[in-house]
Structure 1
Amino acid sequence: MTTTAPGTAAGRLPDFPWDSLEAARARAAQHPGGLVDLSIGTPVDETPEVLRTALAAAGDSPGYPTALGTRELRAAAAGWLRRRLGVTVADPFGADPSVIPTVGSKELVALLPTLLGLHEGTVLIPEVAYPTYEVGAVLSGLAVRRTDTPPDDPAGVVLVWLNSPGNPHGRVLSDDELRTWVAWGRAHGVPVVADECYATLGWDVQPRSLLHPAVAGEDHTGLLAVHSLSKQSTAAGYRAGLLSGDPALVRQVWEVRRHLGLLVPGPVQAAMAAALADDAHVDAQRERYGARRERLAAAVRATGARIDHSEAGLYLWVTRDEDCWATVDWLAGLGIVPAPGSFYGPAGARHVRMALTATDERIDAAVQRLTAGDRGRH
């Protein structure tokens, strides 16, 4: 079903969802042990030294950075895609570049329809989805349709967003599902874009990139992938992302970004190049998140709640088979704040999302409250 109709962006943008959690946060903050905020997936661990050293070394940066990205960054990005995801992009130094840096991934998600010149038609997004896919469509005056399968009728569809591993639910699309979308998009001339910001955080399964040859075939025609250093490199404050795939589409995005001044700062580009060439810090951070996930998941299940999907990514998709706001209220009584599933679409209305991005001390506090059976109201 269409959830958003075309219209003036200023008049159709939704309220910022997390503002509606103020009452839950206030209630949770009254808990004697303090608030455990698991509602927003913002990293809390130290940014690794490899990034900080490279950032500082490039601090003398008087000139404008390039929207295309330095040669060092593009080489490091291509190497990372090949080494970590099994993806070989076309020549990153070609006239039509196959990979460019972005100011984090959220701005790219929000602006991609505009950068591609899409101003009429419908954007397909997952049934349960990161809100910014819809925001980006609204900003371009496009309609939105939620679906997890390609529609029989492609009329009016101008862009497809996939998200695997998914935010909020951690669901990973199978190779067959990805190939089905690739074939559908190519058959109808519709770009298919995969948000793969959690690609290095597979737990029960190993996520596959849309650009992998087992999915995309011999080239990346009609396909794009979005990646981010925010979680894997604990660098959300750096605003460091990547766009890669079909060189014709990447070039179109790059050309518009040059006009708009969407430039990743030079020192950040240096830090990105260093980070993308180093696997050790990524693996170390993955171990931290994995340990937190194991402890928190066990405590959630001990309450009788169920965890759906969550086979990858940074969240637990939790349900007590009740309205999500009832679950928010229950957890707030324990001093814990999750994100209600309704933030992510009607299909999420009976789940909450619990982030793993809290300190070990705060995760342990949540575990203690959940396992102690503390149902009291504070």
Structure 2
Amino acid sequence: MGFHSFESPYDWSRIDTYRRRAEQCPGGLVDLSVGSPVDPVPRSVKEALAAAADDGQARGYPKTAGDGLLRQVATDWFRRRRGVDLDALGADLVPTVGSKEAVALMASLLHLGPGDRVVQPKVSYPTYAIGTQLAGAQVTTVDDPVDTDSWVDLPGVRAVWINSPGNPSGQVIDRAGLSKIVRAARSIGATVLSDECYAMLDWSGPTQVGQNAPIPASPCILEPEVCGGDASGILCLYSMSKQSNMAGYRAALVAGDAHLVKAMTAYRKQVGLIVPGPVQRAMRAALEDGGSVMAQREIYARRLRALAQALTSYGYDAVMPQGGLYIWAQARSGDCWADMADLARMGILASPGEFYGDSHRLRFSSTISDDQLELALDRLHTGA
């Protein structure tokens, strides 16, 4: 597994000029660019981390595959929240040091390289492409992976990335679309890589639900209706960062085809890609604390609605996304960088759509404090 060179426009230093300009605005910068959580980590998670600070998993080496309790809690979570019985599917799981390293190393851990092709959405999270390039494989972008005719007959397709709800678009792929992708990938022996890190932030149905109602979630690639009751050739990624504000904990997992997961786990063990023991305890708490997830959902839903309305009042075609944390809007000027300059004049920093594959759009994040949100809303409504 040797690293190859990579090319990507995903370079946050490119927006430093706009950041400095926005910081000079009276009242300071409102940063809507990076999707980094700002709300408190749930009390249950903090207490679990503190309790594990000096237990056996903290003093000694933690298990790469996850300790037995974490594995059981994660298995129960898939069954309860996603309608997925991992055991019945022939699936396994492994915790990862955040979802980004899992994405970036995925092609390499699948032994892809020169001559292999990885399909991904044209508008998507940049690390999919970077990970493919690191492995030395070829990146192939398509408008929509659900249109399987656009990639199924291409030579050398070994894997297909999908992301639902998507970053930055917020698009949710329905079960019929997911099933179509699985069937097409299996017909050519390709692996489906499903990034579902925003799964519990699904707005395609009611954004507010009753206290005892199940947490709405987007369809999972491992649902029996989607995968035919068999996890073969499928890997699903999930993260605690979005649902529980745990980005700094680097807490995520990969679940799916047991043969693929077992092989990946063996490499992870040798490289030392192991989630720390106390973080594994915190992951258990996060997966079990549905109340905190529901409360965070309501916060993001409120912020997204308000942000969409304010952006619309300023002239953007902003709408509530189907899922995720972002408003993905057409640039008013037609060029994301011109809009970046205009917004910086008002002290607002967005994320240029070029980073995600479309230079005619911008991404606005809802991961800001309520005070910062109010400041952004006022500036957008007044245009100053």
Q: TM-score, normalised by structure 2?
A: 0.91
Label 1:175 to 1:239 Cα distance change in 2 as closer, same or farther (>3 A): same
Residue of structure 2 equivalent to 1:369: 379
Q: 1:27 aligns with which of 16, 21, 26?
A: 21
Partner amino acid for 1:203?
W
Residue of structure 1 equivalent to 2:70: 73
Residue of structure 2 equivalent to 1:112: 106
Distance in 2 of aligned mates of 1:373 and 1:22: 22
- The structural deviation recorded for 1:255 is 1.2
**Retained in 1: the 8 A contact 2:10–2:355?**
no
**Retained in 2: the 8 A contact 1:226–1:242?**
yes
1:326-341 equivalences under 5 Å are: 326-341=338-353
Label 1:8 to 1:204 Cα distance change in 2 as closer, same or farther (>3 A): closer
Partner amino acid for 1:177?
G
- The structural deviation recorded for 1:338 is 0.6
Partner amino acid for 1:335?
G
Which secondary structure does the structure 2 equivalent of 1:257 belong to? helix
Which secondary structure does the structure 1 equivalent of 2:112 belong to? coil
Distance in 2 of aligned mates of 1:274 and 1:39: 29
Distance in 2 of aligned mates of 1:40 and 1:118: 30
**Retained in 2: the 8 A contact 1:342–1:349?**
yes
Residue of structure 2 equivalent to 1:200: 200
1:202-351 equivalences under 5 Å are: 202-205=202-205, 207-307=218-318, 310-319=321-330, 320=332, 322-345=334-357, 348-351=358-361
- The structural deviation recorded for 1:226 is 0.3
**Retained in 2: the 8 A contact 1:79–1:277?**
no
Which secondary structure does the structure 1 equivalent of 2:377 belong to? helix
Which secondary structure does the structure 1 equivalent of 2:94 belong to? strand
Q: TM-score, normalised by structure 1?
A: 0.92
1:50 maps to 2:47: no
Distance in 2 of aligned mates of 1:48 and 1:91: 32
1:66-145 equivalences under 5 Å are: 66-90=63-87, 98-120=92-114, 121-145=116-140
Which secondary structure does the structure 1 equivalent of 2:312 belong to? helix
Partner deviation per Cα, 1:98-154 (whole Å, 9 max, x = no partner) = 111100100000001111111231111111010000110111111100012321414
Moved more, 220-229 or 12-21: 12-21
Distance in 2 of aligned mates of 1:128 and 1:365: 29
Residue of structure 1 equivalent to 2:212: none
- The structural deviation recorded for 1:309 is 7.2
Point out 4+ residue stretches in structure 1 off by more than 4 angstroms. Answer: none
Partner amino acid for 2:163?
N
Gaps of 5+ in 2: 206-216
Distance in 1 of aligned mates of 2:346 and 2:168: 22
**Retained in 1: the 8 A contact 2:92–2:257?**
yes
Distance in 2 of aligned mates of 1:349 and 1:309: 21
**Retained in 2: the 8 A contact 1:133–1:161?**
yes
**Retained in 2: the 8 A contact 1:160–1:192?**
yes
Residue of structure 1 equivalent to 2:191: 191
- The structural deviation recorded for 1:15 is 5.5
Label 1:307 to 1:131 Cα distance change in 2 as closer, same or farther (>3 A): same
Report % sequence identity. 44
- The structural deviation recorded for 1:159 is 1.0
Distance in 2 of aligned mates of 1:282 and 1:223: 26
Q: 2:8 aligns with which of 14, 19, 23?
A: 14
Aligned residues: 362
**Retained in 2: the 8 A contact 1:171–1:309?**
no
Partner amino acid for 2:103?
V
Residue of structure 2 equivalent to 1:153: 153
Residue of structure 2 equivalent to 1:4: none
- The structural deviation recorded for 1:277 is 1.2
Which secondary structure does the structure 2 equivalent of 1:305 belong to? coil
Which secondary structure does the structure 2 equivalent of 1:28 belong to? helix
**Retained in 2: the 8 A contact 1:309–1:317?**
no
Partner amino acid for 1:351?
R
Gaps of 5+ in 1: 1-6
Partner amino acid for 1:179?
S
Distance in 1 of aligned mates of 2:10 and 2:361: 19
**Retained in 1: the 8 A contact 2:309–2:318?**
no
State the Cα RMSD in Å. 1.7
Partner deviation per Cα, 1:218-274 (whole Å, 9 max, x = no partner) = 111111100000010111010000100111111111111111110000000011011
